[in-house]
Chains A and B, each alone.
Chain A
Amino acid sequence: MISFIVLMSIVICFSAILALALNFQWGLGGMVNFGLAGLYALGAYACALLMLKGGFNTFFATIGAMVIVGVISGLVAFVTLRVAEEDYFAIVTLGVGEMLRLVALNEDWLTRGALGLSGIPRPFGELVPAEYYAYFMLAISAMLVAATVWFLNRVARSPFGRIMRAVREDDVVAATLGKYVLWARVRIFAIGGALIGLAGSLHAFYYQYIDPTQFSTIVIAYAFMAVIAGGRGAHAGTIIGAAVVMVLLEGSRFAKDIIPWLDSDQLSAIRIIIIGVGLILLLIFRPQGFLREYRLQVELK
């Protein structure tokens, strides 16, 4: 049971970073990202391949994955938003995500397709004894969540954070007040992308084996649920949201013990129903989510 909690906490950590990335892009910056699953896969594959084929160590592979996903996200935003309305952007992200998934599935020479990549090294995998590794990984993951929140809080409370929220509320007004909206959006998407790359790397370290099925579209729904439940723009709320979604998701495995006559197919359907019902209840009773985004308060005296 203890080890189950530890393992689940690790999953919560990298899910939380993924949800924080979406919260940054969509919750604060108003940019819908339906390519989240594909970009998450890109992060995991980039990290794994940099180690397996590029000979990078775990640290630089993670940095590399963050840079790759960040740059590609920024490019997608730049190329799309320069020519298209904001509304089309969501559709483009959907296409990009799907394209990345198809690459992972079909470019066998690079990704080994449906077979997936195995034998992915872990940080300090040789140094830390196997029986303690889960605790070690949890410590690293928790530290990375803390660092991510620290960074995001800095950004959200800064002038750039106000630009993000202004662009989300009304991009014409932001432009009229002197903000270059396209460039702001490119940066929002790139910074969020880098965090998606970080989450993907942790995913690869944790499972040590990745294949395209791990990055199905349902991941996007979970991430949006985490952000909505947590309260758009609220970092701590997003982490709570991610934890609730993952606990419901993983915890509903125990439904088997309570309701023994269910088979595994029914069980997996029930897990999704539980989450859906949970979200609906939340939207009825607390539509703004658990917490709300940071707002600057000044002393009035």
Chain B
Amino acid sequence: MPAHDAGLHNNRQDRPISSTQSPMLSARNVVKSFGGFVALDKCTLDIAARSITGIIGPNGAGKSTLFNVFAGVTAPDSGTMSLGGRNIAGLRPDQLAGLGLVRTFQISRELGELTVIENMLLASPTQSGDAVWRLLFNPGRVRTEQSAAIAKARALLEQVGLWQLANEPAKNLSGGQKKLLEISRALMLDPGIILLDEPTAGVSPLMTKMLGETITRLRDQGLTFAIIEHDMDVIAELCDPIYVLAEGRTLMSGTFREVASNRDVMHAYLGKVA
């Protein structure tokens, strides 16, 4: 039986969280094309441990594709990727999740027929009941773990004002609520690094502000974030450094001030978006 099935997620030793200085997640010359279209063109990028790294760029720049490649959802054509110094090429998404890497999706992918609380519990890494035999022979342990997971889920949901909707099927939530659920669900995994794909799209200004505070607090506790975001206020307030992607490549990186004053960046945006 594979390790992640035996409830070994909480085995932190092989997690790359502690590698403080070196870049935690990095891509070197990653190429990914769809048919003839090159979505990532030798993309190189480092996400330092305990940073909140921002990733911006015009639509179609390849930002979401980069996250897909990092998370093992899409296989790159070439290039290398590492997590905490470990080569992660060819790992499945669930194996990467076991290593502490989790992502959210640009278009919310809530599990609609599951209730909010079920969405949360699904992501809980300590679940002996993942294995059917333990369910039958050690139901007590499964129950204890579930109540602990519910308590943890409750704390996370209360932060984003979703606890009162815990019993609601996730499909009934609003767009913004789905986004918040997805982020909370990712946090259930106790990840070391979270990749957020446009987390504030459709989220109210008040919630966006709260979300920013939560992200900063978690970063201070040791988490690493990479955030794709279109809202420049969010980027300016949270992210350092910021990478600019255009046409599948890293155009530049730096602080918000550096990026904002760069002419190439303005050009990439104006050339594409306008």
Check if B130 sits within 8 Å of A177, measured CB to CB. Answer: no
Q: Which residues of B contact A177 (CB under 8 A)?
A: 94, 97, 102, 122-123, 185-186, 189
Among residues of A, the one whose C-beta sits closest to the C-beta of B135 is A158
A151 to B189, CA, bound (A): 28
Check if A179 sits within 8 Å of B94, measured CB to CB. Answer: yes
A175 to B74, CA, bound (A): 12
Q: Which residues of B contact A168 (CB under 8 A)?
A: 113
Contact with B along A158-188 (1 / 0, CB 8 A): 1110110110111011111111110100010
Check if B94 sits within 8 Å of A180, measured CB to CB. Answer: yes
Check if B142 sits within 8 Å of A158, measured CB to CB. Answer: yes
A263 to B5, CA, bound (A): 58
8 A Cβ contacts from B132-178 to A: 132, 135-136, 139, 142, 146, 150, 154, 163-164, 166-167, 169
A95 to B150, CA, bound (A): 43
Q: Which residues of A contact B164 (CB under 8 A)?
A: 300
8 A Cβ contacts from A247-298 to B: 293, 295-298
Given known pairs A178-B9, A180-B4, A183-B5, the reply for A295 and B115 (CB within 8 Å) is: yes
Interface size in chain B (residues, C-beta < 8 A): 50
Check if A159 sits within 8 Å of B73, measured CB to CB. Answer: no
A99 at the B interface (CB under 8 A) = no
Check if A300 sits within 8 Å of B166, measured CB to CB. Answer: yes
Check if B129 sits within 8 Å of A165, measured CB to CB. Answer: no
Given known pairs A162-B118, A183-B2, the reply for A175 and B131 (CB within 8 Å) is: no
Check if B150 sits within 8 Å of A160, measured CB to CB. Answer: no
A178 to B94, CA, bound (A): 4
A128 at the B interface (CB under 8 A) = no
A154 at the B interface (CB under 8 A) = yes
Check if A296 sits within 8 Å of B71, measured CB to CB. Answer: no
Check if B114 sits within 8 Å of A165, measured CB to CB. Answer: yes
A218 at the B interface (CB under 8 A) = no
B79 at the A interface (CB under 8 A) = no
A191 at the B interface (CB under 8 A) = yes
Q: Which residues of A contact B97 (CB under 8 A)?
A: 175-178
8 A Cβ contacts from B74-119 to A: 92-94, 97-98, 102-103, 105, 109, 111-115, 117-118
A166 to B127, CA, bound (A): 15
A155 at the B interface (CB under 8 A) = yes
Q: Which residues of A contact B129 (CB under 8 A)?
A: 158-160
Check if A178 sits within 8 Å of B4, measured CB to CB. Answer: yes
Among residues of B, the one whose C-beta sits closest to the C-beta of A169 is B111
Among residues of A, the one whose C-beta sits closest to the C-beta of B104 is A176
Which 7 pairs show the lowest CB-CB distances between chains A and B? A178-B97, A159-B129, A175-B93, A159-B127, A158-B129, A169-B111, A177-B123
B residues engaging A (CB < 8 A)? 1-2, 4-5, 9, 71-73, 92-94, 97-98, 102-103, 105, 109, 111-115, 117-118, 121-125, 127-132, 135-136, 139, 142, 146, 150, 154, 163-164, 166-167, 169, 185-186, 189
22 sample A-B contacts, Cβ–Cβ < 8 Å, listed by A number: A159-B121, A159-B129, A160-B130, A166-B122, A169-B114, A172-B93, A173-B109, A173-B111, A174-B122, A175-B73, A176-B73, A176-B93, A176-B97, A178-B9, A179-B94, A180-B4, A180-B5, A187-B132, A191-B132, A298-B117, A298-B167, A300-B164
List 5 additional A-B contacts (Cβ < 8 Å) besides A159-B130, A178-B4: A158-B132, A158-B135, A159-B135, A180-B2, A296-B121
